[in-house]
């Protein structure tokens, strides 16, 4: 018995020694981490300034200027007007290959004005715009990361170019699509991005393809009581068309979504409306499926027009495909996200999160405190024009927890968190992950080759085809 215990003891000591030998060395902080920590107040000030002047799609003059000014201060060359969008810019530092790009968004959303640091709905400006998608954090983190990576490039004498794309009008789902159509990403080797979320993870293959159209009907006006037989109601046509779309819902894939609003339905009930307009969004896991639904929508519009003796017109507002996944870049972002770790939320952050969750009637689950393990098909289902970039160049995207668990973007809760320590902590984590990943790509040509190989495999080498007409111009809808 004594002998056995001794043997067990020896075995335990041997196992312990083996464990000590095999425990991985603690991940080293990247030089870009330290610089971002030192300059934290600068980035919080930029993000706060953009939050305080929320600008809608294509109107982001102050927001884009604030970000571009930071880049110019650090020696980036800035060119404006990519894709025919006045508030789009491309900032470049360095020269030659590889060309590593980051994406900045900065548009706000209508009606999501919200007081900072309030865990309940309280508009700063009634019905005013607000950063309900956290793009003030998104854009600032990307700019901070681009500058940090470029400083590392200079200090470590690394080859290559750092690009930062200032991409407007994401909330219209076409800002980047126009830039891609006009060849902005032609020389870019890899693209990295992030989005505020309630989780820390790599987004993979879950964003939906989406297409939106205006459906207009043109009829003939008449007095609704005195001579209705002379009129042809465009609203009748829209109602009939909408019914056809509602019936179509039984015959679409379970992954598909159809949503709509009536934008114009007439001026007064006693006038036969000669004009009616609806906006319809079609979404599914693939762009091919969305295109099939669009063809059926066009038939339904023509059918409704025929039945009501009106004329139908279908106009494309935007179209984005499903993202092209890049596993090589996903793995790089995952490695750096695990190294940097999740935001270090404190007791005050948790209290704020719990108060917000209680206000919303959600489980008081607090904030995400871990990084989700890498897995395929991870992330939210929101569509984004980032998918168009992913079809033009290898791209990966991560989420960092910037709001309480269970809360969603496009909501006052996100606006509140986007000017709160919770949002700023997420922003700095994103900046560190993006900066370190960009430096990894400059240092290791094999990573860029792997990303390019994955891109070729996923796209089967097919060239990018824009969903936009060559002469289409960005317009608010
Ligand atoms: Zn967004």
Of 41, 45, 337, 79, residue with least CA distance to 183? 79
Predicted confidence at residue 21, as pLDDT, reads: 47
Contacts of 23 (CB under 8 A, 6+ apart): none
What is the rounded distance in angstroms from the CA atom of residue 283 to the CA atom of residue 249?
12
The fraction of the chain above a pLDDT of 90, given in percent, is: 91
166 CA distance to ligand 1 middle (Å): 14
261 CA distance to ligand 1 middle (Å): 21
Predicted confidence at residue 14, as pLDDT, reads: 54
**Residue-wise pLDDT tens digits, 38-55:** 999 999 999 999 999 999
Of 141, 149, 153, 151, residue with least CA distance to 193? 141
Peptide bond into 141 cis (omega under 30): no
**Residue-wise pLDDT tens digits, 364-408:** 999 999 999 998 878 888 899 999 999 999 999 999 999 999 999
Predicted confidence at residue 29, as pLDDT, reads: 86
Of 123, 172, 40, residue with least CA distance to 416? 123
144 CA distance to ligand 1 middle (Å): 18
86 CA distance to ligand 1 middle (Å): 20
What is the rounded distance in angstroms from the CA atom of residue 261 to the CA atom of residue 208?
20
Tokens of 27: 């991940």
195 CA distance to ligand 1 middle (Å): 7
Average pLDDT over every residue of 326-339: 97
CA angle 122, 124, 128 (to 5 degrees): 105
Count of beta carbons in the 10 Å neighbourhood of residue 1: 5
136 CA distance to ligand 1 middle (Å): 10
Average pLDDT over every residue of 311-327: 96
207 CA distance to ligand 1 middle (Å): 12
109 CA distance to ligand 1 middle (Å): 9
pLDDT band at 22 (very low <50, low <70, confident <90, very high): very low
CA angle 34, 91, 333 (to 5 degrees): 50
133 CA distance to ligand 1 middle (Å): 5
> Can you tell me whether residue 456 is helix, strand or coil?
helix
204 CA distance to ligand 1 middle (Å): 16
**Residue-wise pLDDT tens digits, 279-310:** 999 999 999 999 999 999 999 999 999 999 99
Predicted confidence at residue 377, as pLDDT, reads: 79
360 CA distance to ligand 1 middle (Å): 21
273 CA distance to ligand 1 middle (Å): 37
What is the rounded distance in angstroms from the CA atom of residue 398 to the CA atom of residue 433?
9
Contact (Cβ atoms closer than 8 angstroms) between residue 412 and residue 121: yes
What is the rounded distance in angstroms from the CA atom of residue 405 to the CA atom of residue 390?
28
Tokens of 268: 């007064």
389 CA distance to ligand 1 middle (Å): 15
308 CA distance to ligand 1 middle (Å): 40
What sections of 188-276 are H helices per DSSP?
234-248
Average pLDDT value for the chain:
94
Q: How many residues appear in the chain?
A: 477
pLDDT band at 6 (very low <50, low <70, confident <90, very high): low
pLDDT band at 20 (very low <50, low <70, confident <90, very high): very low
Predicted confidence at residue 26, as pLDDT, reads: 56
What sections of 56-159 are H helices per DSSP?
61-73, 135-155
What is the rounded distance in angstroms from the CA atom of residue 401 to the CA atom of residue 349?
12
């Amino acid at each position: 018995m004594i002998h056995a215990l001794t043997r067990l003891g020896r075995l335990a000591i041997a196992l312990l020694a083996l464990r000590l030998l095999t425990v991985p060395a603690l991940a080293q902080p990247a030089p870009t981490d330290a610089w971002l920590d030192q300059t934290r107040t600068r980035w919080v000030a930029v993000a706060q300034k953009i939050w305080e002047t929320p600008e809608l799609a294509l109107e982001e003059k102050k927001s884009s200027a604030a970000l571009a000014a930071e880049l110019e201060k650090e020696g980036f060359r800035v060119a404006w007007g990519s894709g025919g969008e006045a508030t789009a810019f491309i900032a470049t530092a360095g020269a030659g290959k590889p060309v590593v790009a980051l994406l900045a968004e900065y548009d706000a959303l209508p009606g999501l004005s919200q007081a900072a640091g309030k865990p309940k709905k309280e508009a700063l400006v009634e019905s005013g715009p607000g950063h309900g998608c956290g793009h003030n954090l998104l854009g600032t983190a990307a700019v901070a990361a681009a500058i940090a990576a470029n400083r590392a490039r200079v200090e470590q004498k690394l080859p290559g170019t750092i690009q930062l794309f200032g991409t407007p009008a994401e909330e219209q789902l076409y800002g980047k699509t126009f830039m891609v159509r006009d060849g902005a990403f032609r020389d870019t080797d890899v693209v990295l991005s992030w989005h505020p979320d309630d989780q820390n993870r790599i987004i993979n293959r879950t964003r939906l393809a989406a297409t939106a159209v205006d459906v207009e009907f043109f009829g003939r006006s008449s007095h609704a009581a005195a001579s209705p037989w002379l009129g042809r109601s465009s609203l009748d046509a829209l109602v009939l068309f909408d019914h056809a779309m509602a019936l179509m819902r039984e015959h679409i894939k379970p992954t598909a979504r159809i949503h709509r609003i009536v934008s114009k339905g007439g001026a007064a009930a006693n006038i036969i409306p000669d004009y009616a307009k609806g906006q319809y969004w079609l979404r599914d896991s693939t762009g091919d499926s969305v295109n099939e639904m669009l063809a059926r929508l066009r038939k339904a519009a023509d059918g409704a027009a025929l039945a009501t003796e009106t004329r139908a017109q279908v106009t494309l507002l935007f179209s984005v495909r499903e993202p092209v996944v890049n596993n090589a870049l996903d793995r790089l972002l995952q490695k750096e996200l695990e190294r940097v770790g999740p935001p270090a939320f404190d007791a005050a952050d948790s209290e704020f999160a719990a108060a917000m969750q209680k206000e919303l009637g959600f489980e008081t689950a607090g904030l995400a405190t871990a990084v989700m393990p890498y897995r395929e098909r991870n992330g939210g289902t929101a569509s984004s024009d980032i998918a168009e970039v992913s079809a033009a160049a290898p791209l990966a995207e991560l989420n960092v927890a910037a709001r309480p668990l269970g809360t969603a973007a496009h909501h006052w809760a996100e606006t509140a968190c986007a000017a709160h320590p919770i949002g700023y902590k997420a922003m700095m984590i994103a900046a560190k992950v993006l900066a370190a990943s960009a430096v990894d790509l400059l240092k290791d040509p094999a990573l860029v080759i792997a990303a390019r190989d994955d891109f070729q495999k996923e796209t089967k080498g097919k060239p990018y085809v824009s969903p936009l007409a060559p002469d289409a111009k960005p317009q608010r809808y």
